[in-house]
Amino acid sequence: MSPRRRVSSDAPPLFVDQAVSRRRRLPRVIASALALAAAAIAVCSWTLFTHEQHLRAERKDNEALVAVRSFMTMFTSPDPFHANDYLASVIDHATGDFAKQYQEKANQILVAVARSEPTTGVVRAAGVERWNDDGSVSMLVAVENSGKSPDGKHDVKVATRWLATAQKEGDQWKISNLNQVL
């Protein structure tokens, strides 16, 4: 037996030049690498876009929460010695029906605040309930009021919950509706 074998001229070559084979694979490799890079860029862009949307929504929520917390702290801390300042501050931070109600009942509110005991309101928790179609936001706020009893002998603490609707006017958030939740 001889290690030689006869090869006909029309038979496929037994040895293929590897350089020719690599030249055919190189464009495929480059095309698939470019497609993979384009897909990675698209995924990164989409992730960045959604991340920025979430950050904008969170900033908007925080801005409204800070404004409502500040208002509720002031609103639930009436000082009978500064009743006029209290009423002016509430009216400055009010809009819509809430502002109209306070302006109509201004004298009654002044008398009630002047006759009350000094109390301090502390916002314990606040959260966004929903964003409304008109751009306003509804929030649930839990407040704890503390003060002295009318005889001055006992400390009194009362927890209340409020449903506040805030609307942005210019650069300032204003309260357009405020209801105590029972």
pLDDT value of position 155: 83
Contact predicate 162/143, CB 8 Å: yes
Highest mean pLDDT among 22-31, 35-44, 139-148: 35-44
Please tell me the least confidently modeled range out of 12-16, 27-31, 44-48, 144-148: 12-16
The Cβ of residue 70 has, within 10 Å, a number of other Cβ atoms equal to 13
Q: 175, 168, 41, 151: which is closest to 99 by C-alpha?
A: 175
Mean pLDDT of 23-41: 91
Q: Tell me phi and psi for residue 6, to 5 degrees.
A: -85, 135
Structural domains of the chain ordered from first start: 38-76+119-181 (3.10.450)
Contact predicate 126/63, CB 8 Å: no
Mean pLDDT of 74-92: 90
Q: Is the pLDDT of residue 135 over 80?
A: yes
pTM, rounded to two decimals:
0.74
